[in-house]
């Protein structure tokens, strides 16, 4: 192994943090996908952010403070891919039962997985997928 390869990042996880316009609305959306609220961050009694968990995946949500413009575009050019071993059709049905509109109904991909797509309240795109061998 080369010195460059030995010193290269060997990450095991990634935990995105999303800034959202309406924290409560976003929490409800992600709970509808099956995430659960773990940690809560409050400042002077006001909820400012949460850590969501789904299996071994973590996702942070924080309330936009408006300093960069309240209605600035969020999520543009970003898609989060969530891999699971669960039944994609059942997960999509459960998401819809929680009021989540699917951007794309469950479909078979060209790379032999099954997936569905959603857009969160701030425009962040998510694909939930199961690999054919998973």
CATH number at residue 93: 3.10.180.10
**Residue with tokens 């995430």, as numbered in its chain:** 35
Instruction: Name the pLDDT band for 26 (thresholds 50, 70, 90).
Output: very high
* Tally of structural domains, the chain: 1
- Two tokens, residue 44: 């002077």
Q: In terms of residue numbers, what domain contains 87?
A: 15-65+73-131
Answer yes or no: is 105 within a domain.
Answer: yes
Answer yes or no: is 60 within a domain.
Answer: yes
Helices (H) and strands (E) in the chain, counts: 3, 8
Answer yes or no: is 119 within a domain.
Answer: yes
- 56-107: pLDDT as tens digits: 999 999 999 888 877 778 888 899 999 999 999 999 999 999 999 999 999 9
38: closest CA among 28, 49, 48?
Answer: 49
pTM for this prediction: 0.87
State the Cα–Cα distance between residues 82 and 4, nearest whole angstrom: 30
Answer yes or no: is 4 within a domain.
Answer: no
State the Cα–Cα distance between residues 120 and 125, nearest whole angstrom: 6
Q: Is 90 helix (H, G, I), strand (E, B) or coil?
A: helix
Q: Tell me which H or E stretch contains 5.
A: helix 3-7
């Amino acid at each position: 192994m080369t010195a460059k390869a030995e010193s290269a990042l060997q990450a095991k996880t990634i935990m995105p943090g999303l800034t959202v316009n309406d924290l409560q609305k976003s929490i409800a959306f992600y709970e509808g996908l099956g995430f659960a609220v773990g940690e809560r961050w409050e400042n002077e009694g006001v909820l400012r952010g949460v850590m969501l968990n789904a299996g071994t995946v973590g996702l942070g949500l924080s309330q936009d403070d408006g300093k960069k413009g309240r209605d600035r575009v969020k999520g543009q050019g970003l898609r989060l891919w969530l891999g699971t071993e669960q039944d994609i059709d059942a997960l999509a049905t459960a998401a819809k039962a929680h009021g989540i509109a699917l951007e794309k109904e469950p479909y078979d991909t060209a790379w032999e997985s099954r997936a569905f797509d959603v857009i969160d309240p701030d425009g962040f795109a998510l694909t939930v997928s199961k690999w054919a061998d998973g």
